[in-house]
């Protein structure tokens, strides 16, 4: 018999209708920091911003993505403790590939390091996919950091296929 998880997954709601405030999103910051740490471990080709510089930028991105109807944040909690979250942005379907009129991107999926490998990430993905299908969105994109093989395997086990490879180069400035 499988034990019932001690966590719950719910949608994070903005304090004011239609727009997330900084205060609504700031509880996500410690988890964002843990994701940055994972990125540092996976790939150090590009220098990373400080936590203090990164979070305001990411929070602004979240606010922009979440302005689009259908975009959402799921949070996983145990009691009042935040264990993980997923941010999903809805965008127009691809102009080249035969996707639906709308497609989704998992912008962030993070679970605290001490809570990993217990099914929480899988549960977040299952719930976001359930919500997307209920809204008629069946095309989902997600990026993983080069070198983060565990994340790539996680998504491949769930049926995601490598799609676009992004290359990076820093140009010399005279």
CATH number of the domain within which 33 lies: 3.40.630.30
pTM exceeding 0.75: yes
Assigned domain for 164 exists: no
Return all residues near 174 (Cβ < 8 A) that are at least 6 apart: none
pLDDT, one tens digit per residue, over 42-70 is: 777 788 888 899 999 999 999 999 999 99
pLDDT, one tens digit per residue, over 119-143 is: 999 999 999 999 999 999 999 999 9
pLDDT, one tens digit per residue, over 32-44 is: 999 998 888 777 7
Domain that holds residue 92: 8-141
Query: Rounded to 5 degrees, what are φ and ψ at 170?
Result: -100, 120
Assigned domain for 162 exists: no
Assigned domain for 57 exists: yes
Domain count, the chain: 1
Assigned domain for 13 exists: yes
Measured CA to CA, the distance from residue 154 to residue 139 in angstroms comes to 18
* Tally of CB atoms within 10 A around 71: 19
Assigned domain for 157 exists: no
């Amino acid at each position: 018999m499988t034990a019932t998880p001690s966590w719950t997954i719910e949608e994070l709601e903005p304090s004011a209708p239609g727009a997330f405030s900084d205060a609504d999103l700031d509880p996500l910051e410690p988890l964002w920091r843990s994701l940055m740490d994972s990125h540092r471990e996976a790939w150090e080709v590009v220098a990373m911003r400080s936590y203090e510089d990164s979070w305001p930028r990411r929070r602004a991105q979240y606010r922009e993505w979440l302005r689009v109807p259908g975009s959402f944040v799921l949070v996983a909690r145990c009691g009042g403790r935040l264990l993980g979250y997923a941010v999903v942005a809805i965008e127009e379907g691809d102009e080249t590939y035969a996707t639906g009129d709308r497609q989704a991107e998992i912008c962030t999926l993070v679970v605290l390091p001490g809570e990993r490998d217990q099914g929480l990430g899988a549960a977040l993905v299952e719930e976001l996919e359930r919500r997307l299908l209920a809204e008629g969105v069946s095309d989902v994109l997600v990026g993983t950091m080069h070198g983060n093989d565990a994340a790539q395997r996680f998504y491949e086990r769930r049926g995601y296929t490598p799609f676009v490879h992004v290359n990076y180069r820093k140009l010399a400035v005279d």
